[in-house]
Amino acid sequence: MPIRATKRGTERTRLERDCDVLICGASFAGLAVARELAGTGAHVLVVDRYEIGERQTSACGIPTGWLQALELMGSHRQEFGELVIHSPHATARYQLPWSFSTFDYRELCALLAQQGSFEFETAKVEGPPPANSEAMHVVKTDRGEIRAPLVVDALGWRRVLGRGAPIQPPDAYLSRGLEVHPHGRGEELEIWIDRRYVPAGYGWSFPAGDELRIGVGSFDPRFHVKDPTVALARDLERDPSGYQGNWIPHRIREATEGGIFFVGDSAGHCLPLTAEGIRTAFYFGIACGRELADVVAGRQSRAAALARYGAFSAAHRWQYEWMLRVQRLIPRVPPRVLGPALTGMSVKRFVDWSFSHYLAIAHPDYVSAHGDRARAGAHLAASQSPPMPASTASGGSIA
Ligand SMILES: Cc1cc2nc3c(=O)[nH]c(=O)nc-3n(C[C@H](O)[C@H](O)[C@H](O)COP(=O)(O)OP(=O)(O)OC[C@H]3O[C@@H](n4cnc5c(N)ncnc54)[C@H](O)[C@@H]3O)c2cc1C
pLDDT tens column, 180-206: 999 999 999 999 999 999 999 999 999
Does a structural domain hold residue 399?
no
Whether the upstream peptide bond of residue 128 has omega within 30° of 0, thus cis, is yes
What gap in Å lies between CA 343 and CA 3, rounded to an integer?
Answer: 43
Whether residue 76 has pLDDT greater than 90? yes
Which range marks the domain in which residue 312 is found?
A: 11-232+242-392
25 lines ligand 1 (CB under 6 A): yes
Residue 87 near residue 335 (C-beta atoms within 8 A): yes
Site to probe by mutation for ligand 1, drawn from 7, 57, 260 as the one with most ligand atoms within 8 Å of Cβ, is: 57
Instruction: Indicate whether residue 160 lines ligand 1 (CB < 6 A).
Output: yes
Q: What is the pLDDT of residues 214-239, one digit of tens each?
A: 999 999 999 999 999 999 999 999 99
Q: How many angstroms separate the Cα of 330 from the Cα of each of 70, 71, 193, 385? A: 33, 36, 9, 22
CATH number of the domain residue 298 falls in: 3.50.50.60
pLDDT for the residue 163: 85
Query: What band does 168 get if pLDDT is binned at 50, 70 and 90?
Result: confident
pLDDT (tens digit per residue) in 125-161: 996 665 666 578 999 999 999 999 999 999 999 999 9
Q: 55 CA to middle of ligand 1, Å?
A: 9
Decide if 364 is inside a domain.
Answer: yes
8 A C-beta contact, residue 36 and residue 59: no
**Mean pLDDT, all residues of the chain:** 90
The reported pLDDT for the residue numbered 129 is 65
With CA atoms as reference, report the closest residue to 88 among 194, 190, 189, 203.
194
29 C-alpha to ligand 1 centroid (Å): 9
Question: Do the domain assignments include residue 157?
Answer: yes
Query: 28 CA distance to ligand 1 centroid (A)?
Result: 7
In a domain, 61, yes or no: yes
Over residues 340-350, the pLDDT tens digits come to 999 999 999 99
> Would residue 4 count as lying in a domain?
no
- Yes or no: say if 79 and 101 are a contact pair by the CB < 8 Å rule: yes
pLDDT at residue 366 greater than cutoff 90: yes
Distance (angstroms) between ligand 1 centre and the Cα of 274 equals 15
Return the SS3 of 1: coil
Q: What is the DSSP string of 96-154?
A: EEEEEEEE-HHHHHHHHHHTS--EEEE--B-SSPPPB-SS-EEEEETTEEEEESEEEE-
pLDDT recorded at residue 2: 46
Q: How many domains does the chain have?
A: 1
In a domain, 3, yes or no: no
Nearest CA to ligand 1 atom 49: 27
Comparing 35-44, 99-108, 203-212, 387-396, which segment has the lowest mean pLDDT?
A: 387-396
Residue 57 has what pLDDT?
A: 82
Q: What is the pTM of this model?
A: 0.93
Helix axis angle for 28-37 and 105-114, nearest 10°, is: 20
- Comparing 4-8, 40-44, 121-125, which segment has the lowest mean pLDDT? 4-8
Query: Average pLDDT in the 307-328 region?
Result: 97
Query: Comparing 18-32, 155-169, 220-234, 347-361, which segment has the lowest mean pLDDT?
Result: 155-169
pLDDT band at 389 (very low <50, low <70, confident <90, very high): very low
Å from CA of 284 to ligand 1 middle? 14
Q: What pLDDT was estimated at residue 10?
A: 64
Q: Which atom of ligand 1 is nearest to the CA of 270?
A: 19
pLDDT in tens, 367-385: 998 765 565 444 444 444 4
CB of 153 shorter than 6 A to ligand 1: no
DSSP letter, residue 297: T
Q: What is the pLDDT of residue 372?
A: 57
The answer on pLDDT for 391 being more than 50 is: no
CA 174–ligand 1 middle distance (angstroms): 13
| Calpha distance 300→56 (Å, rounded) | 36
E strand or H helix at 83: strand 76-87
* Other Cβ atoms within 10 Å of 110 Cβ, number: 16
